[in-house]
Structure 1
Amino acid sequence: MTTTAPHAAIPKPQQAGKQPRSVRVVLLALMIAMLLAMLDNMIIGTAMPTIVGELGGLEHLSWVVTAYTLTTAASTPIWGKLGDLYGRKGIFLVSIVVFVLGSVLSGMAQDMGQLIGFRAVQGLGAGGLMVGVMAIIGDLIPPRERGKYQGMMAGVMALAMIGGPLAGGAITDHLGWRWSFYINVPLGALALFMITTVLHLPKKERTGKGKIDYLGAALLTVGITAIVLFTTWGGTEYAWGSGQILGLAALGLASVAGFLYVETKAAEPIIPLHIFRNRNFTLMSVIGFIVGFVMFGAVLYLPLFQQSVQGASATNSGLLLLPMLLSMMVVSLLVGRVTTNTGKYRMFPIAGGALITAGLVLLAQMDTGTSRLTSGIYMAVLGAGMGFLMQITMLVAQNSVEPKDMGVASSSTTLFRTLGSSFGVSVMGALFTARVTDSMVAQGGSTGGMPQGAALDAASLEKLPAALREMYQFAVATGTHGAFLLGAGVAVVALVAAFFVKEVELKGAGPQKKDGSAPDTAVQKDAVAAQA
Structure 2
Amino acid sequence: MSDAIAEHDSAQMTHRQKIEALVGLLLGMFVAFLSSTVVSIALPEIIKGLHGTTDQYTWIVTATLLASTATTPIWGKFSDLMSKKLLVQISLTVFTLGSVLAGMSQSAGMLIAFRAVQGIGLGGLQALVIIVIASMFSPRERGRYQGPIAAVMSIATVGGPLLGGIITDTSWLGWRWTFYVCVPLAIIALVVIQRTLNVPTIRKPGVSIDYLGATLIAGGVVVLLIWVTLAGKSFAWASGTSVLLAGLGAILLILAVLAEGKLLNRFLPNFLKVHDPLIPLHLFRDRTTTLATLASVAVGVALFGSAVFLGQYFQLGRGYSPTIAGLLTLPMVGGSLIFATVSGGLITKFGRWKIFLVTGGILMTIGFALLATINGHTNMLLVGLFLFILGAGMGMTMQNLILPVQNAAPAESLGVATSTVTFFRSLGGAAGVSVLGAVLATHVKDLTVSGLTAMGHALVPSLGAPGAMAKVAACGKLLSAGIAGDLPSDCAAVQQTAFGDGVPTIFLIAAVMSALALVAIAFIKEVGLKTLTPLEEQQQAAEAMAGLSPEESPEVVAAEGLMAAGVAKRHQTDSAAEVTRG
Question: What is the TM-score normalised by the length of structure 2?
Answer: 0.80
Task: Pick the aligned partner of 1:506 from 518, 523, 529.
Answer: 529
Could you say what secondary structure the match of 1:445 adopts?
A: helix
- Cα distance in structure 2, aligned partners of 1:498 and 1:142: 22
Q: Residues 368, 57 of structure 1: CA spacing in aligned structure 2 closer, same or farther, 3 A cutoff?
A: closer
Could you say what secondary structure the match of 1:252 adopts?
A: helix
- Aligned equivalent of 1:27: 22
Q: Residues 310, 270 of structure 1: CA spacing in aligned structure 2 closer, same or farther, 3 A cutoff?
A: same
Deviations for 1:17-65, whole angstroms, at most 9, x for unmatched residues? x42x222211110011112211113333344455445544446443333
Could you say what secondary structure the match of 1:318 adopts?
A: helix
The gaps in structure 2 that reach 5 residues or longer are 263-273, 455-468, 545-553, 559-582
Paired residues for 1:105-504 under 5 Å: 105-171=101-167, 173-205=171-203, 207-209=205-207, 211-265=208-262, 266-442=274-450, 444-445=452-453, 449=472, 450-451=475-476, 454=479, 464-465=489-490, 472-504=495-527
CA contact (8 A) 1:307 1:458 kept: no
Could you say what secondary structure the match of 1:271 adopts?
A: coil
Task: Pick the aligned partner of 1:45 from 40, 54, 58.
Answer: 40
1:98 aligns with 2:121: no
CA contact (8 A) 2:62 2:434 kept: no
Specify the code of the residue in structure 2 equivalent to 1:451. G
Specify the code of the residue in structure 2 equivalent to 1:135. I
- Aligned equivalent of 1:5: 4
Q: Residues 383, 528 of structure 1: CA spacing in aligned structure 2 closer, same or farther, 3 A cutoff?
A: farther
Specify the code of the residue in structure 2 equivalent to 1:424. G
Specify the code of the residue in structure 1 equivalent to 2:417. A
Paired residues for 1:69-84 under 5 Å: 69-84=65-80
- Cα distance in structure 2, aligned partners of 1:268 and 1:284: 23
Q: Residues 526, 328 of structure 1: CA spacing in aligned structure 2 closer, same or farther, 3 A cutoff?
A: farther
Specify the code of the residue in structure 2 equivalent to 1:68. T
Q: Residues 316, 528 of structure 1: CA spacing in aligned structure 2 closer, same or farther, 3 A cutoff?
A: farther
CA contact (8 A) 1:357 1:492 kept: yes
CA contact (8 A) 1:142 1:508 kept: yes
CA contact (8 A) 1:234 1:426 kept: no
The gaps in structure 1 that reach 5 residues or longer are 511-520
Number of aligned positions between the proteins: 512
Q: Which moved more, 1:214-223 or 1:168-177?
A: 168-177
Q: How far off its partner does 1:197 sit?
A: 1.5
Q: Which moved more, 1:163-172 or 1:215-224?
A: 163-172
Question: What is the TM-score normalised by the length of structure 1?
Answer: 0.87
- Cα distance in structure 1, aligned partners of 2:351 and 2:85: 28
CA contact (8 A) 1:351 1:388 kept: yes
Q: Which moved more, 1:477-486 or 1:350-359?
A: 477-486
- Aligned equivalent of 2:577: none
- Aligned equivalent of 1:515: none
Percent identity over paired residues = 39
1:86 aligns with 2:85: no
Specify the code of the residue in structure 2 equivalent to 1:38. F
Q: How far off its partner does 1:7 sit?
A: 7.1
CA contact (8 A) 1:285 1:413 kept: yes
Q: How far off its partner does 1:256 sit?
A: 0.8
Could you say what secondary structure the match of 1:82 adopts?
A: helix
Could you say what secondary structure the match of 2:81 adopts?
A: helix
CA contact (8 A) 2:64 2:118 kept: yes
Deviations for 1:132-164, whole angstroms, at most 9, x for unmatched residues? 101000100111111111222223223323543
Q: How far off its partner does 1:91 sit?
A: 1.7
- Cα distance in structure 2, aligned partners of 1:298 and 1:175: 28
CA contact (8 A) 1:87 1:204 kept: no
Deviations for 1:305-352, whole angstroms, at most 9, x for unmatched residues? 333444432332222211122112211111101110011111122222
- Aligned equivalent of 1:517: none
- Cα distance in structure 2, aligned partners of 1:365 and 1:205: 51
Could you say what secondary structure the match of 2:40 adopts?
A: helix
Measured on the aligned residues, the alpha-carbon RMSD in Å equals: 3.3
- Cα distance in structure 2, aligned partners of 1:117 and 1:472: 31
Q: How far off its partner does 1:482 sit?
A: 2.7
- Cα distance in structure 1, aligned partners of 2:290 and 2:526: 14
Q: Residues 456, 241 of structure 1: CA spacing in aligned structure 2 closer, same or farther, 3 A cutoff?
A: closer
Paired residues for 1:61-76 under 5 Å: 61-76=57-72
- Cα distance in structure 2, aligned partners of 1:431 and 1:528: 58
| Structure with the greater alpha carbon radius of gyration | 2
CA contact (8 A) 2:70 2:221 kept: yes
